[in-house]
Amino acid sequence: MTTDNLLKLLVLALIDSTSIGTLVIPVWLLLRRGSGRIAGKVGVYLAVIGVFYFLVGVVMLTSASTVLDAWGEGARTFAASRPAHWLALAAGATLLWFALRDWIPSGASKTPTRGPSTPARASTPTRASTPTREPTRTGHDGGVHPVVPEGTSAATSRAASAEQRWGARISRALTTPGGLVALAVTAGLLELPTMLPYVAAIGVLTVEGPAGLAGIGWLGLYCLVMLLPAVLLLGARVLLEGRVEAPMQRLGAWLGKASTEAVLWIMGAGGFLLVRYALQGL
């Protein structure tokens, strides 16, 4: 392994370490009330999702190595052909569409406008002393958060909806012995379609890394780096307890908003690279 390849793997592993499964869910778990009592459960969750990623990586690495050994020259010939470039163009365009769909105009606004012949409805006075309450919902940490109001952006609504769904999954996971295992496997399975950095790392190990058990060993180190930020946060939560409560609350809130956008950025970057590759060969 060259220094350049190690640097590539390190950067890709750090990108993978910020996903929902490897960072966001562990932070939300640590923010639960009585987090000191569930520190061991967070460790179990991290171990399970680490093993899940490792096993998926072993299957991908051995499959890619087998294909490269068996059809190395044929695979290179197909990769340089026009059909392969058209497939890459279609895949890249699809990824770009998913990443940019929130910024694509969807037609004229559906908000009704008052025409000249429509009389304005007389306004009725309201009591200034009656406060308007903002609707609330229970968040991932057991607190109360406002419901996303109508008219917010699609990205914001999607992020809030995802946070609600994961909050419900986390609550169920903490009530059963195998719940954390199921939560980790579910997070891993749902992230499979967006594992572009992981796929790129498998490509680096397949083409430029060592063969056999040495390559699998490097894959194991990659998975450990993926879990490192969450492990450090777990250690800080156990050792410092309430002193990291406020910073971790802010981190959890920011991660909840940024995680959905991060997936879209990864999809957009992958789509752009595929489209650029395809156009160069067409």
Task: Indicate whether 7 belongs to any domain.
Answer: yes
Residue 104: per-residue pLDDT: 60
Mean pLDDT, rounded, for 229-249: 81
Instruction: Count Cβ atoms below 10 Å from residue 276 Cβ, excluding itself.
Output: 12
Task: Indicate whether 22 belongs to any domain.
Answer: yes
**SS3 breakdown of the chain: % helix, strand, coil, rounded to 5?**
75, 0, 25
Task: Indicate whether 271 belongs to any domain.
Answer: no
How many structural domains comprise the chain? 1
- pTM flag (> 0.85): no
Task: Indicate whether 252 belongs to any domain.
Answer: yes
Task: Indicate whether 122 belongs to any domain.
Answer: no
Task: Indicate whether 131 belongs to any domain.
Answer: no
Which residue matches tokens 């190990």? 205
What type of residue sits at position 160?
A
Helices 213-240 & 3-16 angle (0-180, nearest 10): 50
Task: Indicate whether 173 belongs to any domain.
Answer: yes
Instruction: Count Cβ atoms below 10 Å from residue 8 Cβ, excluding itself.
Output: 17
Rounded to whole angstroms, how far apart are CA atoms 274 and 91? 7
Q: Please tell me what DSSP assigns to residue 104.
A: S
Find the distance separating the first CA and the last CA of the chain, reported in whole Å: 34
Residue 76: per-residue pLDDT: 65
Rounded to whole angstroms, how far apart are CA atoms 184 and 189? 9
Question: For residue 50, what pLDDT band results from cuts at 50, 70 and 90?
Answer: very high
What type of residue sits at position 202?
I
Position 261 pLDDT exceeds 70: no
Q: Which domain holds residue 8?
A: 3-81+137-258
Mean pLDDT, rounded, for 208-217: 86
What are the strands, taking DSSP E only, across 32-184? 136-138, 144-146
What type of residue sits at position 84?
A
Rounded to whole angstroms, how far apart are CA atoms 234 and 221? 19
Position 263 pLDDT exceeds 60: yes
Token digits of residue 4? 């350049």
The distance of Cα 52 from the centroid of its chain, to the nearest Å, equals 16
Rounded to whole angstroms, how far apart are CA atoms 216 and 210? 9
Query: 160 phi and psi, to 5 degrees?
Result: -65, -40
Task: Indicate whether 56 belongs to any domain.
Answer: yes
Rounded to whole angstroms, how far apart are CA atoms 96 and 89? 10
Residue 221: per-residue pLDDT: 95
Residue 210: per-residue pLDDT: 84
Question: For residue 48, what pLDDT band results from cuts at 50, 70 and 90?
Answer: very high
